[in-house]
Amino acid sequence: MDETATYPKHDRSTIRRLRDRAKYDFATVHAIFSAASIVHVSFLPTDPSMDPFPTILPMLGAMGNFANPTADAATEPLDFYIHGHASSRLMKLPGSELTGDHPEGLPVCVAATLLDGIKLALTPFNHSCNYRSAVLHGYANLVTDEDEKNWAMHVVTDDVVPDRWNNSRVPPTKAESQSTSVLRITIVSASAKVNTGPPGDDRRDLQDDDVTSKVWVGVLPVWEHIGPPIESKTNKVTSVPRYLSSWMQERNSSREEYALKVASEKI
C-alpha cells in the first residue's frame, strides 16, 4: 500500500481491540464517509468547568478538495465539509471566543456509520454486527471564500443525491447564500473499522446439540433503502427524472448486494 495514502496512526485514532477490523487508508475512510447519509459531529463544551458534556449533532457533509476538485478519493488527501444555517450554534463556534485556545480552528470529531447486518450467534456474548464505521478528528473553520463556499454547497448537495445541484434552481440567491454557512474540517487523524461475515461461535456451544438444535444462527442483512419517490403537490415534472431514478435503483441494489454478500462471506 502507498504509505502516503493512509492516515497517520495517532494515539486517539488507533484501534486497539479487534485490530483485524481496523483500516487507516484513504480509500476505506473516504468511501465510508461518502456512503453514509448522515454523519455525527461532536465538539467540546465551551467551558467544561461549567458544563462538562460534549455535544453531538447529526449533519449532512461531504469529502472534497477545493484546490484539487478532481482529487482521487482513494489516494489523495481530502477535507470534510459540513453546512448549516448561519445562525446555528455550530456554525458560529469556529473563530469565536468560544473555541478557546485553538487558533487552528474548532476541534471536532465526525463519525460515519453504516449498519450492514445483525449477526446472531448461539450465545448473546458472540452476537455482533456487520458494519462499516469511520471517525475523523480535525479542525473546523468557517469558509469565507465565496468560490469555495459555492463549490462546497454544490459538493454537499450532490453527496446526498448525485447531480441534484445542476438539476435544481441554482445559483443560490444572495440572501440564500448569506444565510448558509459552510465549515471546512481539516483532517488531522482518521480511522475506520469494518466487520463482515457470519457470526463466530465457541467450540463448546457448537458441540452442544441441546444448544444448536434450538438456536437459529446467521445474519439478518440490513441496508438503507430508498422507496418510491413521492411527488409534492406543487411538482410539475410529470415523470421522475432519470438522474434520480437510475441513482436510486443503483444505490438500492448495490447496498442490498453488499449486505447479502457480507452476511455469508468475510471480506
Binding to a second copy in span 13-42, by CB under 8 A = 16-17, 37-38, 40, 42
> How many residues in total does the chain contain?
267
Tell me how far apart the alpha carbons of residues 70 and 233 are, in angstroms, rounded to a whole number. 38
Grid coordinates belonging to 135: 471517525
Positive/negative CA dihedral, 76, 82, 83, 86: negative
Q: For the CB of residue 219, give the shortest distance to a second copy in the complex, in Å.
A: 5
Is 89 near a second copy (CB under 8 A)?
yes
Q: For the CB of residue 155, give the shortest distance to a second copy in the complex, in Å.
A: 11
Q: Is the peptide bond before 171 cis (omega within 30 degrees of 0)?
A: yes
Is 96 near a second copy (CB under 8 A)?
no
**Element (H or E) spanning 241, and its range?**
none
Is 241 near a second copy (CB under 8 A)?
yes
CA distances from 257 to 118, 162, 194, 222, 243 (A): 16, 20, 16, 10, 21
Q: Which is nearer to a second copy, 73 or 188 (CB)?
A: 188
Q: Which is nearer to a second copy, 110 or 142 (CB)?
A: 110
Among 21-29, 47-55, 62-70, 141-149, the segment contacting a second copy (CB under 8 A): 47-55
Is 163 near a second copy (CB under 8 A)?
no
Binding characters for a second copy, 198-227, by CB under 8 A (x = yes): xx-x---xx-x--xxxxxxxxxxxxxxxxx
Grid coordinates belonging to 61: 457533509
Is 125 near a second copy (CB under 8 A)?
yes
Burial per residue of 84-94, b for 16 or more beta-carbon CB atoms within 10 angstroms, e otherwise: beeeeebbebb
Tell me how far apart the alpha carbons of residues 86 and 63 are, in angstroms, rounded to a whole number. 20
Q: For the CB of residue 134, give the shortest distance to a second copy in the complex, in Å.
A: 10
Q: Which is nearer to a second copy, 76 or 208 (CB)?
A: 208
Q: For the CB of residue 245, give the shortest distance to a second copy in the complex, in Å.
A: 10
Is 124 near a second copy (CB under 8 A)?
yes
User: Longest C-alpha distance within the chain, in Å?
Assistant: 71
Tell me how far apart the alpha carbons of residues 79 and 218 are, in angstroms, rounded to a whole number. 38
Q: Which is nearer to a second copy, 67 or 237 (CB)?
A: 237
Q: Which is nearer to a second copy, 98 or 129 (CB)?
A: 129
Among 27-35, 62-70, 71-79, 158-166, the segment contacting a second copy (CB under 8 A): 158-166
